[in-house]
Structure 1
Amino acid sequence: MSLTSLQLFKNLSDETRLGIVLILRTMGELCVCDLCTALDQSQPKISRHLAMLRESGILLDSKHGKWVHYRLSPHIPSWAAQIIEQAWLSQQDDLQAIARKLASVNCTNSSKAICI
């Protein structure tokens, strides 16, 4: 399935999905619980948005032990990557603060049971 501009903009028009994409652009790869912490949202809400992003081809997932990690797909079209990059640049300071917060509470390095 090829990502269309309409699909990209529909996905990025939601604040939670945009936040997920920009945080993953900053951090590279994260599990659900890290995204819940970063966005201060519940696990079911984050998981629902992750599924939408994964179905559209924007994200990829991989299983690491008991955790599922998400990252931006390297297969998205270059025009879509440029749009994400520009959005990231516009919020870079806020995203770096989130990255510092996550570095101190990263759940995949702890024994938290909420990562599934």
Structure 2
Amino acid sequence: MLQPLQLFKILSDETRLAIVMLLRESGELCVCDICAVTALSQPKISRHMAILRESGLVIDRREGKWIHYRLSPHIPAWAAETITTSWLCLREEIREWMTKSAPSSC
């Protein structure tokens, strides 16, 4: 089960925080979409996604060769509230990132 210290360690990384905020905003994204918005390489994003998946914060589904990620509906309520509160503080910045990002290569 996800503990507060674990959540805060995960979200203390700027890339993982950005990914979680993007997923909170969009609902579901593939790695190529996250790469486009963050301007980071696929291997770097995939490494962070593995950490998020292992923690139980995100779940994935495969569609052909693409893997789509979303926040897990099974995270504890306190964690979901923390993510939502953070998203409320950052949502304008997140929406700006998404509108400025290059078209997806998916």
Measure, in 2, the Cα distance between the counterparts of 1:29 and 1:3. Answer: 21
Q: Is the 8 A contact 1:36 1:43 kept in 2?
A: yes
| Structure 1 vs Structure 2 CA RMSD | 1.2
For 1:99 and 1:70, how far apart are their aligned partners in 2? 16
2:65 alignment partner AA: K
User: 1:98, CA displacement in angstroms?
Assistant: 2.4
Cα deviation code 1:36-84 (max 9, x no counterpart): 1111111111000000000000000100111000000000000000000
Deviation at residue 16 of structure 1 after TM alignment: 0.2
Q: CA deviation at 1:97?
A: 1.6
Query: Is residue 27–residue 99 contact of structure 1 (8 Å, CA) maintained in 2?
Result: no
Task: Write the distance in 2 (CA, Å) between the matches of 1:34 and 1:13.
Answer: 22
Matched with 1:37 is 36
Q: Which position in structure 2 is the counterpart of 1:83?
A: 82
Report the TM-score, using the length of structure 2 for normalisation: 0.94
Secondary structure class of the residue paired with 1:70: strand
TM-score, normalising length: structure 1 = 0.86
Residue of structure 1 in register with 2:62 after alignment = 63
Match for residue 15 of structure 1?
14
Which amino acid is 1:51 matched to? A
Residue type at the aligned position of 2:13: D
Q: Please tell me whether the aligned partners of residues 62 and 68 of structure 1 are also in contact (alpha carbons under 8 angstroms).
A: yes
Moved over 6 A (4+): none
Instruction: Give, in whole Å, the separation in 2 of the partners of 1:58 and 1:4.
Output: 11
**Alignment partner, residue 24 of structure 1:** 23
Percent identity, aligned pairs only, is: 56
